[in-house]
Amino acid sequence: MEITLKPEQAKFIQTQVTRGRYANPNEVVSRALKLLQEWEQEYEQWLAETRQKVEVGAAQAQAGEVLDLEAVTERLRARVIKAQDTEG
């Protein structure tokens, strides 16, 4: 596999090596790929959880288990006022 870096990417990698953070460019790229892999895994987990929550919410809405927007807004407003009262 051959990879072509943009000049600013190559400069960044070289700067990391020069600063002593990494022993060589391969270490910089390996670390970057590891971080990308971790991010992708976290994103996939978030996506699966979000899809599940949407399915639950849709099922609740279909069953008529919904809250009135005005009632929710009033509850939130009351919580904010209560929090402000306890702070001051």
Q: Domain map of the chain by residue range? A: 7-87
Whole-angstrom Cα distance, residue 55 to residue 70? 24
Residue 82 pLDDT exceeds 70: yes
Residue 88 pLDDT exceeds 80: no
Residue 9 pLDDT exceeds 80: yes
Residue 14 pLDDT exceeds 80: yes
Predicted local distance difference test score (pLDDT) of residue 67:
86
Task: State pLDDT tens for residues 23-73.
Answer: 999 999 999 999 999 999 999 999 999 999 999 999 999 999 988 899 999
Q: Taking the C-alpha atoms of 23, 25, 28 and 34 in order, what is their torsion angle to the nearest 10 degrees?
A: -120
Report the residue count for the chain: 88
Helices (H), 1-88: 7-18, 25-62, 69-87
Residue 64 zone, left/alpha/beta (φ > 0; ψ -120 to 50; rest)? left
Per the CB < 8 A criterion, the answer to whether 16 and 22 are in contact is yes
